[in-house]
Structure 1
Amino acid sequence: MTVSDCEICGQTAHGNHFGVLSCRACAAFFRRATLNPKKKLNLNCIHGQNLEIHRNGFFSCKKCRMKKCLERGMDASKFQLDRDMISSAMVPVNTPLMIPQTLATFLGRPNFLIYCNAQDPSSPGPAKNVVDCNHLLDRATEILKNGSWKPFSPQLNSLEQMSAAFENMKISKSSELQLITHMNKDHTLLIWEQEMLNTAEWLTNFSEFNSLPITVQMEVVKSIWQTYGRFEKLAKTAEFRRKKLFKSDNLFVVGDEACLDSENTVVDVSWFTNYSYEQVSYFMDCFHNKAFRQIAKEFETLNPTTTELNFMLLQVCLQEAGKKLQGDVTKMTDYLQDLISNQLHDYYLNVRNMPNYSARLTKMMKVCNLMRNDLRRQAEKSKLAMTFDVFNITFSHPEIMGNCG
């Protein structure tokens, strides 16, 4: 077995998962088998010990596969909190990005957002098409109610748990990064869906957040899902660039497994406005904004660890939720920000052995402040677009699209 082979199945490995050099398929199998109490696998052996347990990476027996995972040392507590975010296997440097020919080869159709060519009876003014968000919000609520996988050691604090879960969420993502050359309605709805559900799943790993009433949790998710998606994708974009997997500063990550070239992507706006793309680009095109591009550059220079990135995400998202929701929610988000700040302090002292981390923290806060300024500018553009009725689209829950753009 070479150093690039999965120790479980012998196929190409993609990194160190749960303490063992393995491929994403075996890592995902181990995760499903051990970390999710709601999806326990049936681990009854289906054949005798003398039969070949796998061929070309395919296992016929889940129990034998699990046994080999354990024999090789896989351990649910061995999360690699600070390992590289992006594997070079995702986008080979000398290989062109794959271009999907149809939506089916991209990621499939949205399952929860429904686009309706109908007038919203509660909306005054010209006829507007409707995006029904009910199914998406129901699904996000279900995720929050079910809670996290909870594979964590009791010694892990909330910031460490969220960092571990953030890494674990990436295991289930496809290793193929698709290049979108024509951004249409289906792509956009799917990306919105991904951002909402990813935000809900991420927050289930925040113990103190989970103690809040489910209605409050859902209000927070509705107020920050765009912030989380925007911030996380900028971090991914910067990581691809740092690893030389994106050769152009015009490439940006826009979905779980999708990117676009800001100079060579056709954007279909006909489904949400009567104006041309050139006329509405001011309200929705962030990729040509110098401030937006600066955030990606700062991320690339900073190269945050997973723990640092999750701290920054939480700081910006919690502040955004407190600002939007006010009242008792603001008190709660202030408390949670103080909590993770203390946990970051412990991380630097006990994990990084870095008692003098003020310079590092200053760089992180610079990125956070740039992100806050970007969110404020986008919110102002959204209000302006609403004032002048630029878009002929409305939502069943308008409050969740405050910074859409």
Structure 2
Amino acid sequence: MTQSNCEICGQAAHGNHFGVLSCRACAAFFRRATLNPKKKLNLNCIHGQDLEVHRNGFFSCKKCRMKRCLDKGMDASKFQLDRDMISNAVAPATKTPVMIPQTLATFLGRPNFLIFCNSLDEGSPGPAKGVVDFNYLIDRATEILKNGSWKPFSSEMNSLEKISVGFENMRILKSSELHYITHMGRDETLLIWEQEMLNTAEWMTNFSEFNSLPITVQLEVVKSIYKTYGRFEKLAKTAEYRRKKLFKSDNLFVVGDEACLDSENTEVDVSWFTNYTWEQVSYFMDCFHNDIFRQIVKEFETLNPTTTELNFMLLQVCLQQAGKKLQGEVTAVMDYLQEVISNQLHEYYMNVRNMPNYSARLTKMMKVNNLMRQDLRRQTEKSKLAMTFDVFSLAVSHPEMMC
């Protein structure tokens, strides 16, 4: 192995993490796996023997990956706490929090997929509008759907298992220091929309039955659920951080890939999409201070779902949302996909959890989903009301993606 390779998975290394030359993905995995000091590590491989690392550095067994980390000398005591942006989020005001860079191209290392421009047509009636062009982002999402999943899943894994493993792997690969946002404006909002869209497309590529649909249908489904996916996933992650005592305040929420904000201490700039003030339009916004939003986080904390349970819940809400919005034949297809994952959840409880009596667990999960649907309905009603009264001076290339 050359000096430039990760000692854990063999992929390109990004520096010395926890005392070992490794990539960010393996460093993030080790950080997440050792984050909870109460969790005892069982390093016995689930397959009864040490597994080889698959191509692209993928491990099919978390225990084998952890054993490799420890064998190579990774040490949890070497956490660099001064670099942890979570601590900045709850530290005294004397510390300056790190903000997400204002330039998306700088932050992402590539041109933006979401394009924003101001309408300067002086001959047009009414106030000038900002315009958001989704075309490049949709093209990128289409490429992801066409390429499908590269992960070397076992042929015996069903779709719910694949999408759960893919979900966890996606979280690990995107894991980094948590940034604390103190300003929410145009650039931050567009970045969050972009992340939600691309993450949703990547997540759905692990759903075998979904992949058999025409690419045009797949894309319409992703366009109809990306905001639901993003909201649900961030609620679950917020609850996870609170449960692990990483968020000391009930006003801290995850809002993007490794980004959080304090809902009571964040400057919100709405000038790029409305002629009204924040106080005037906050009722119509997808805010963090509504009661249902906070209740869902509390329910997630209590439920503490497994990755498989979380992905079932997330799929159920998203598929129902897609069927409701797209109607026609798509509704029947979404109903079929819900039946598929329901049967696979039953297999999970019977064969993996050895839990034949899981009705009480399912009831708690459905309580969270019902609250989520209630929140989505209320937000949709507010959006329609805002459009009726022309609250937002913002035009988008694909209006259906904002409803």
TM-score (normalizing by structure 1):
0.78
Distance 2:351 2:126 in 1: 59
Alignment of 1:2-401 (within 5 A): 11-12=16-17, 25=24, 27=26, 73-74=52-53, 76=58, 78-80=60-62, 95-97=87-89, 98-100=97-99, 102-103=101-102, 107-108=107-108, 111-118=112-119, 126-401=127-402
Q: Displacement, 1:80?
A: 4.2
Deviation at 1:27, TM superposition (A): 3.5
Offset at residue 149 of structure 1 (A): 1.1
Bigger drift between 21-30 and 209-218 goes to 21-30
Measure the CA separation in 2 of the matches of 1:73 and 1:151: 12
Distance 1:101 1:80, change over 3 A: closer
Contact 2:28 2:173 (8 Å CA) reproduced: no
Q: What secondary structure sits across from 1:107 in the alignment?
A: helix
Distance, in Å, in 2 between the alignment partners of 1:358 and 1:92 is 40
For the aligned residues, what is the CA RMSD? Answer: 3.3
Unaligned runs of 5+ in 2: 1-5, 30-48, 66-75, 90-96
Aligned-pair distance for 1:77? 5.6
SS at match of 1:263: coil
Give how far 1:318 is off. 0.1
Q: Which runs of 5+ in 1 are unaligned?
A: 15-20, 31-69
Change (3 A) 1:234 1:6: farther
C-alpha distance 303-74 of structure 1, shift in aligned 2 (>3 A): same
* CA deviation vs aligned residue, 1:123-155 (integer Å, no higher than 9, x gap): 986432110111000000111011111310001
| Secondary structure of 2:87's aligned partner | coil
Is the alpha carbon distance of 1:148 and 1:13 closer, same or farther for their aligned partners in structure 2, counting shifts above 3 Å?
farther
Measured at CA, do residues 101 and 229 of structure 1 come closer, stay the same or move farther in structure 2, by a change above 3 Å? closer
Residues 143 and 201, structure 1, Cα contact 8 Å, conserved in 2: yes
Deviation (angstroms), 1:73: 4.8
Q: 1:101 to 1:341 in 2, by over 3 A?
A: closer
Deviations 1:309-337 (A, max 9, x none): 00000000000000000111000000000
Question: Are 2:85 and 2:179, in contact at CA under 8 Å, matched by a contact in 1?
Answer: no
Q: After the TM superposition, which of the residue ranges 147-156 and 236-245 deviates more from structure 2?
A: 147-156
Question: Does the C-alpha gap of structure 1 residues 221 and 94 become closer, same or farther in structure 2, counting only changes over 3 Å?
Answer: closer
Partner Cα distance (2:164, 2:113) in 1:
27
Is the Cα contact below 8 Å between 2:84 and 2:178 reproduced in 1?
Answer: no
2:370 partner amino acid? N
Could you say if the C-alpha distance between residues 134 and 167 of structure 1 is closer, same or farther in structure 2, counting changes exceeding 3 Å? Answer: same
TM-score, length-normalised on structure 2? 0.79
Determine if contact 1:80/1:164 at 8 Å carries over to the other structure. no
CA distance in 1, matches of 2:339, 2:201: 21
Q: Please state whether the residue corresponding to 2:253 is helix, strand or coil.
A: strand
Q: Distance in 1 between matches of 2:28 and 2:267?
A: 38
Q: Distance in 1 between matches of 2:269 and 2:101?
A: 15
Residue 315 of structure 1 aligns to a residue whose secondary structure is helix
Tell me the secondary structure at the aligned position of residue 132 of structure 2.
Answer: strand
The percent identity for this pair of structures is 71
User: For 1:338 and 1:152, how far apart are their aligned partners in 2?
Assistant: 22
Deviation, structure 1 residue 172? 1.8
Task: Write the distance in 1 (CA, Å) between the matches of 2:395 and 2:148.
Answer: 31
After superposition, what is the alpha-carbon deviation per residue over 1:58-113, rounded to whole angstroms, capped at 9, x for unaligned? Answer: xxxxxxxxxxxx998545462449x9xxx996986993234227425993487111
Cα distance in 2 for partners of 1:365, 1:166 equals: 20
Shift of the 399–151 alpha-carbon distance from structure 1 to 2, 3 Å rule, reads same
- Report if aligned partners of 1:312, 1:364 keep a CA contact under 8 Å in 2: yes
CA contact (8 A) 1:268 1:277 kept: yes
- Pick closer, same or farther for the CA change 1:297–1:306 going to 2, 3 Å: same
Counterparts of 1:143 and 1:234, CA distance in 2: 25
Q: Residues 180 and 94 of structure 1: is their aligned pair in 2 closer, same or farther, counting only changes over 3 Å?
A: closer
Contact 1:110–1:190 (CA under 8 A) maintained in structure 2 = no
CA contact (8 A) 2:115 2:134 kept: yes
Contact kept in structure 1, 2:28 and 2:172, CA below 8 Å: no
Taking the aligned partners of 2:325 and 2:201, their CA distance within structure 1 comes to 18
Quick one: distance in 2 between partners of 1:372 and 1:101?
30
Q: How much does 1:184 deviate? A: 1.2
What is the number of equivalent residue pairs in this alignment? 348
Q: Residues of 2 paired with 1:120 and 1:221: CA distance?
A: 33
How far has the Cα of 1:174 moved from its partner? 3.7
In the TM superposition, residue 171 of structure 1 has moved relative to its aligned partner by 2.2
Write the letter of the residue equivalent to 1:208: E
**Residue type matched to 1:329 in 2?**
V
